[in-house]
Amino acid sequence: MNQALHRFSVEGRVVVVTGASSGIGKHMATVLAHAGAGVVLVARRKDTIDSLADTLRRDIPTARVHTVCCDLNAVEDFDALAIELSAPFGAPNSLINAAGVNFREPADQISAQSWNQTINLNLTVPFFLSRALVNGMRGDGTIINIASLQSIRAFPDSMPYGASKGGVTQLTRAMAQAWSPEGVRANAIAPGFFPTELTQAVFDDDAKAAANARQTCIGRNGELEDLSGPTLFLCSAASSYMTGQVLYVDGGFTAK
Ligand SMILES: NC(=O)c1ccc[n+]([C@@H]2O[C@H](COP(=O)([O-])OP(=O)(O)OC[C@H]3O[C@@H](n4cnc5c(N)ncnc54)[C@H](OP(=O)(O)O)[C@@H]3O)[C@@H](O)[C@H]2O)c1
């Protein structure tokens, strides 16, 4: 492999991916496993992550895959979780914080519970999980948070979600400030509209989906494959001088 391409390699790295049972987290974990990384899959639905692990082991003879079934909103001891996540393959080099929710409630119907669940899973968990894993990553670590168009744009019925995603971009900068001197880079990917369980209601509405596509420069909504390159880039040495940044993978939605 030529030297420039070699910098994109994630071979031999170990990556923890939360939200690995579905959508973006599942896709990123799959891409990384196919590229030679060991992956630790985290989500609540045990059958779903176990089935993904079986598929990866079947498709990739050398795959290193482990699953940890966990409700991240119920974690009280992130250091204990970090030990569990590090058990199969040693301390992870990378963490992808992809678990997230958006309950899509009008402002006057948002309960304290749904507000707190959203902020906790989307913003608080990425901080505490990253902090628990960062010691083991020192020297050569990468954290990828998942931001959103809603980090910088308002959409209807999404106040706690938007607040959490605005927070994620600033958390990413703060992580970069704190941990980059010790060799742990933190960046975020901000996806446009991608078809997943989270966005099913949007994609089920043809008019809404078409309007979102029209808002991009490219003229279509995202396909999960569009996230493969950015994932490998931000996990690998190819992005060695990038930290504290938000990479918008949105077809130019925010450029217009
Ligand atoms: N799709 C898009 O267009 C889009 C755009 C911008 C940003 N994002 C962000 O991308 C990330 C992934 O979203 P997605 O679209 O892939 O959504 P998704 O398909 O609904 O996946 C969400 C993931 O989060 C996990 N999860 C939810 N609650 C959890 C909990 N309490 N504990 C542990 N895991 C939990 C789910 O697994 P279980 O249900 O098995 O626990 C699932 O794997 C989110 O942060 C989202 O905000 C998505």
The answer to whether the CB of 158 is under 6 A from ligand 1 is: no
For range 6-25, the mean pLDDT: 98
CA of 57 to the centre of ligand 1 (A): 23
In this structure, which CATH number among 1.20.210.10, 3.40.50.720, 3.40.50.1820, 1.10.3720.10 belongs to the domain 3-195+224-250? 3.40.50.720
Q: Model confidence over 20-78: pLDDT tens digits?
A: 999 999 999 999 999 999 999 999 999 999 999 999 999 999 999 999 999 999 999 99
Tell which wins on pLDDT, 195 or 2. Answer: 195
Sequence ranges of the domains in the chain: 3-195+224-250
Quickly list DSSP for the chain.
Answer: --HHHHTT--TT-EEEEETTTSHHHHHHHHHHHHTT-EEEEEES-HHHHHHHHHHHHHH-TT--EEEEE--GGG-S-HHHHHHHHHTTTSS-SEEEE---------GGG--HHHHHHHHIIIIIHHHHHHHHHHHHHTTSEEEEEE--GGGTS--TT-HHHHHHHHHHHHHHHHHHHHHGGGTEEEEEEEE----SSTTHHHHHSHHHHHHHHHHSSSSS---GGGGHHHHHHHHSGGGTT--S-EEEESTTGGG-
Q: Model confidence over 146-195: pLDDT tens digits?
A: 999 999 999 999 999 999 999 999 999 999 999 999 999 999 999 999 99
CA of 100 to the centre of ligand 1 (A): 4
The answer to whether the CB of 52 is under 6 A from ligand 1 is: no
Please tell me the predicted confidence (pLDDT) of residue 158: 97
Instruction: Reply yes or no on whether the pLDDT at 3 is more than 90.
Output: no
Residue 241 annotated among the catalytic residues of the structure: no
CA of 98 to the centre of ligand 1 (A): 6
Please tell me the predicted confidence (pLDDT) of residue 2: 85
Give the mean pLDDT of the chain.
Answer: 97
Please tell me the predicted confidence (pLDDT) of residue 193: 98
Catalytic residue among 78, 89, 161, 194, which?
161
Q: How far apart are CA 70 and CA 41, in angstroms?
A: 10
